[in-house]
Amino acid sequence: MTYKEVVEKAKKTLEKRGEYNDGDVFLNACSLWLKGDQINLWSYWQGYQIEDIDNGVDILLVGQDWGNPEWDKKVADNIAQIQAGKPATYFGDKLSTTDKNLIELFKTLGCDICKKDPGKRLLFTNYCLGYRKTRQSGGMTQNLLSKDKELFDDLVKAVKPKVIICLGKITYEAVTGQKIGAFTEQLKKGIPYATVYPGVESVKVYGVAHCGGMGSANVGGMNSMLKAWKRVAADLCKNTEIREVELSDTVLNRLISFSEDWAAENSCYGYRANDRSDIEGNRIFFAEEEGKVVGYLFGKVYESENMQAIMPKGTPYFEVEELYVSPEHRSRGIGESLFRYAENAVKNEAEYMVLSTATKNWKAIFHFYLDELDMRFWSARLFKKIEE
């Protein structure tokens, strides 16, 4: 089945089903959704703009259910504008806590979901395709979700996602068919649930916390959620090949080109583009995707002098001279992969990894080196202009 055929099947199924409920959750096929051409109203944030969606998507994001369209008329109006072919965005100028958190979480995957082209092929949907008639949230059951299992299976076959990310326990259980006990305990540690889609081992499925205020609170806040998503990003980066390379004219030219880009960013105090003398004698590591170099690290082994505060004199250490990832490939774990690969490559020659930084965005870089790479702080050199 094509995506369009799945959408039409879903409409007919929901219309025939009519109003249905479990407890005090009453659902039906809302008129706004029936007027459109997408599997879910959430797809008007990401997914509707992919004209060749049958060629596959990179990430299928799955929530529980959309809620009650009558409770968010501004978003419903925006969707109606998109359906009419008018310039509009899903959320307009209003962002909920869920929306804000989702935007930040997708940045870990290298995606800007505020853009029509977010950087990857994304499709947002909810597992339950019915829309609430009464309460906006809460009370959802596996019984209600199970009614749309066949339609979800059809959707997965049609759009062929590389990865499925499920928001919340009940959604993850519905997608995978697994029963999870203390769902939040693992997520508090920043570890997502992971398995494969039933019957399709090539599709990886991740379970993460719902990104609303309550979902965030249940796992200890946004930091835990970001850690879980960064693990997903690192897993996706397994398609990134890290390798050590010998210096050649081709490698030299690529490194100089990267450093020119870095200098143009003006992100570090005093940084200038490299020449051959800056690079010769270093061990060089490349990160590549589909044969394209997307980042690098180079450095060399020294014996310590005047560093007794952290290591005995004469201790061999590897000084990371430069670590760089191209802007469009950042926040996906590539920098960490480069560092870890180099660390493993030099562990028989050096006892420490050492680096200095002159970045202007010091808060972000300290988070990266201290929190993500487990480095320890040694010293800092600060400055302040004296006002007259």
Instruction: Measure the CA–CA gap between 301 and 315, rounded to whole angstroms.
Output: 10
DSSP-based helix, strand, coil % in the chain, nearest 5: 40, 20, 40
Tokens (6 digits) for 125: 């949907």
pLDDT in tens, the chain (388 residues): 999 999 999 999 999 999 999 998 999 999 999 999 999 999 999 999 999 999 999 899 999 999 998 888 889 999 999 999 998 888 867 788 889 999 999 998 888 899 888 888 999 999 999 999 887 678 899 999 999 999 999 999 999 998 999 999 999 999 999 999 888 999 998 999 999 999 888 899 999 999 888 888 999 999 999 999 988 887 776 678 899 999 999 999 999 999 999 999 999 999 999 999 999 999 999 999 878 899 999 999 999 999 999 999 999 999 999 999 998 787 677 888 899 999 999 999 999 999 999 999 888 888 888 887 889 999 988 888 899 8
Pairing of strands 122-126, 59-63: parallel
| Six-digit token string for 23 | 């407890």
Domains of the chain, first to last: 3-239 (3.40.470.10), 241-372 (3.40.630.30)
pTM above 0.75, yes or no: no
User: Are residues 109 and 98 in contact, defined by beta-carbon separation less than 8 angstroms?
Assistant: no
